[in-house]
Amino acid sequence: MRNKIPRVRAKEQDAKIRATNFKEVCFGFNISEAQAEASRCLQCKVPGCVQQCPVHINIPAFIAKVEAGDISAAAKIIAKDSFLPAVCGRVCPQESQCEGNCILGKKGESVSIGKLERFVSDYAREHQIRFTEKAPSKGKSVAIVGSGPSSLACASDLARNGYDVTIFEALHRPGGVLEYGIPEFRLPKESVVSYEIETVKSLGVKIITDVLIGRTITVDDLLGKEGFSAVYIGSGAGLPKFMGIPGENLNGVFSANEYLTRNNLMKAFDSSYETPIFHGHKTAVVGGGNVAMDAARTALRLGSKVTIVYRRSQAELPARAEEVHHAVEEGIAFDMLTNPVEIVGDGNGCVKALRCIKMELGEPDESGRRRPLPVEGSEFEIAADCVIMALGTSPNSLISDTTEGLDTDRKGCIIADETGATSRPGVFAGGDAVSGAATVILAMGAGRTAAASIDKYLSGERSPL
Ligand SMILES: Cc1cc2nc3c(=O)[nH]c(=O)nc-3n(C[C@H](O)[C@H](O)[C@H](O)COP(=O)(O)OP(=O)(O)OC[C@H]3O[C@@H](n4cnc5c(N)ncnc54)[C@H](O)[C@@H]3O)c2cc1C
Ligand code: SF4
């Protein structure tokens, strides 16, 4: 009975060893492990896993090819819907997407779809297997702002469909959060991110880095003098939030975005680079999402003791369960039901401690989670020389401020309909720039939807608004 076969576990680096290096935590499946795991799939006629995949990969079909040992055919099936499979196989929250809707998960453990996707894409990369067929040129060009997963998904669909696509990226390397946010130990940059971006480029997509749209050139310029027929905005949500408490301007206080960017993009963890970062001895990370886990685990690998400070309880932690589990295994401490009220200085402009108050949970708030309330008189200090704020991000207003007729909501997110069309004719948007901080696969789904809408718009099949 297929559903009685136990789930195959992928091997991982030992927690004590990996806490001191930036090498990838999980080793992934080998071929026999992948085939054993693939053999658990029931090949459902109406597969719940596909319904819950934002890019609709034909999951049972690729799994059947893995079971049969035809990994190249499995890779071809995935490539039809995703050009970032090695990325998604590593960082997608599968537990709430495909695996969360796998029939086997109803009574036992779902098929390990993410690890299978990762195995197939790693195999394809190691064997230099790429699928880059495209339609003849349509003679029309589309500009894309930003080079994160949303933009890359939009670009690859448009390029395959015969459009000339140019991506403009503000930073010096493409990839968005995949490059500057998610650490090397979860998502290797050269072997995985760069390789998959090269696959998108092999479709003819041009990527121009160091161009800040809204400053170097505007969206109006792209549609006007630069001659693009449409623009897709996938500029993400990279503006960090702070708490507004005393002491946030002290030396040793970082936003998680800055901390992670310095490590990932500027390689501060690698002593051969000339862009170092402050190494704390005791680091407090404020927040409970994936970003907080990444910042905490990075600080740990730089040699610091680390405490995560979160105002709700373990049950409300928004980070993926796997990330929390890895952080605990690696020795990160958690101070739950705790909220900072002040960052205390040492008199010389540097951080000495994080002053906090204990919290208790009250009635549910508008998010449906129980509202944390301060416990009077419970203030205490956590000794720290480094504080990292991981409280969420929002879109930067640069593009909306400099684009005629582009509407945003009160959080600064670009308003787009379900097809990705914005209030400005010919301008489409998706990913975190529209939804606010979300996930890689949702951003990719939005990019693909917008690519289909741009095609209709440029083929005259839909009205410009
Ligand atoms: C630390 C961290 C960890 C995360 N972990 C996970 C995870 O494990 N799983 C998961 O699914 N999601 C995770 N996420 C969320 C996920 O990475 C994002 O939802 C996703 O990257 C959004 O994609 P995007 O293409 O919309 O934007 P981004 O990836 O943010 O890319 C936007 C790009 O646009 C560029 N840009 C911005 N403004 C301009 C401009 N004016 N001109 C030119 N270029 C511009 C930026 O430099 C950036 O490269 C994480 C996020 C962070 C920060
Ligand atoms: S829902 Fe699960 S068992 Fe069914 S096809 Fe998808 S992966 Fe296989």
Q: Which residues span the domain enclosing 29?
A: 2-126
Does residue 20 form part of some domain?
A: yes
| Dihedral pair phi/psi, residue 356, rounded to 5° | -130, 165
Last residue of a domain, one of 361, 391, 421: 391
Output the CA 365–ligand 2 centroid distance in Å: 35
264 and 227 fall within a common domain: no
CA of 311 to the centre of ligand 1 (A): 25
Pick the atom of ligand 2 nearest to 113's CA.
Answer: 7
Q: Closest Cα partner for 385 from 292, 311, 304? A: 304
In the chain, the number of structural domains is 3
**Does residue 429's CB lie within 6 angstroms of at least one atom of ligand 1?**
no
Using the atom order of ligand 1, give the atom closest to the CA of residue 215.
Answer: 41
Does the C-beta of 61 come closer than 6 Å to ligand 2?
no
* DSSP assignment of 64-119: HHHHHT-HHHHHHHHHTT-S-HHHHHHHS-GGGTTGGG-GGGGTS----HHHHHHH
Report the residue among 1, 44, 53 best suited for mutation to probe ligand 2: largest number of ligand atoms under 8 A from its CB. Answer: 44
Q: Is residue 133 part of a domain?
A: no
| 253 and 385 fall within a common domain | yes
Question: Ligand 1: does its nearest atom lie under 6 Å from the Cβ of 182?
Answer: yes
Based on the domain organization, do 337 and 291 belong to the same domain?
yes
**Percent helix, percent strand, percent coil in the chain, to nearest 5:** 35, 20, 45
CA of 69 to the centre of ligand 1 (A): 35
Question: Which CATH number characterizes residue 96's domain?
Answer: 1.10.1060.10
**Domain final residue, candidates 364, 391, 418:** 391
Radius of gyration from C-alpha coordinates of the chain: 23
Note whether 261 and 346 are same-domain residues: yes
| CATH number of the domain where residue 264 is located | 3.50.50.60
37 and 94 in a single domain? The answer is yes
Pocket mutation for ligand 1, best pick of 156, 235, 259 (most atoms within 8 Å of C-beta): 235
CA proximity to 253, closest of 345, 387, 343? 387
Q: How far apart are CA 330 and CA 448, in angstroms?
A: 37
pLDDT at res. 144: 98
- Together in a domain, 146 and 212: yes
The number of the ligand 2 atom at minimal distance from the alpha carbon of 105 is 2
| Residues 357 and 246 both lie in one domain | yes
Whether 39 is in a domain gets the answer yes
pTM of this prediction exceeds 0.85: yes
Instruction: Calculate ∠ Cα 182-148-157, nearest 5°.
Output: 135
pLDDT value, residue 465: 47
The response to whether residue 41 sits with its C-beta less than 6 Å from ligand 2 reads yes
- What is the SS3 assignment for 386? strand
Q: Based on the domain organization, do 18 and 64 belong to the same domain?
A: yes
Helices and strands per DSSP (H, E), number in the chain:
17, 18
| Ligand 2 and 57: CB distance under 6 A | no
Which tokens sit at 59?
A: 């999951």
Instruction: Tell whether 102 and 61 lie within a shared domain.
Output: yes
The mean pLDDT values, 10 residues at a time, for the chain of 465 residues are 82 97 97 97 97 96 98 97 95 94 95 98 95 90 98 97 98 97 96 96 97 97 97 97 97 97 91 88 97 98 97 91 95 97 98 98 86 96 98 96 96 97 98 96 97 96 56
Residue 321 covered by a domain: yes
* Residue 133, Ramachandran bin (φ over 0: left; ψ between -120 and 50: alpha; else beta): beta
Question: Which of residues 360, 391, 422 is at a domain's end?
Answer: 391
Which ligand has the nearest atom to the CA of 233?
1
| Separation between Cα atoms, residue 149 and residue 276, nearest integer Å | 28
Do 252 and 382 sit in the same domain of this protein? yes
Q: What is the pLDDT of residue 2?
A: 65
* DSSP structural state of residue 337: S
Query: Which atom of ligand 1 is least distant from the CA of 437?
Result: 19
Q: In whole angstroms, give the CA distance from residue 327 to residue 338.
A: 18
Please indicate, yes or no, whether residues 249 and 378 belong to a single structural domain of this protein.
Answer: yes
Residue 193 CA to residue 65 CA, distance in Å, equals 25
CA of residue 48 to ligand 2 center, whole Å? 7
Check residue 368 and give its pLDDT.
82
Asked, for residue 277, whether it belongs to a domain, the answer is: yes
- Give yes or no: residues 262 and 361 share one domain: yes
465 belongs to a structural domain: no
User: Which ligand is nearest the CA of 58, by number?
Assistant: 2
Pocket test for ligand 2, best of 1, 39, 43 (most atoms within 8 A of CB): 43
pLDDT of amino acid 403: 97
Task: Choose which residue among 55, 91, 177 to substitute to test ligand 1 binding: the one with the highest number of ligand atoms within 8 A of its C-beta.
Answer: 177
**pLDDT reported for residue 462:** 61
Smallest-distance ligand from the CA of 265? 1
Give a yes or no: residue 135 inside a domain: no
Does 463 fall in a domain? no
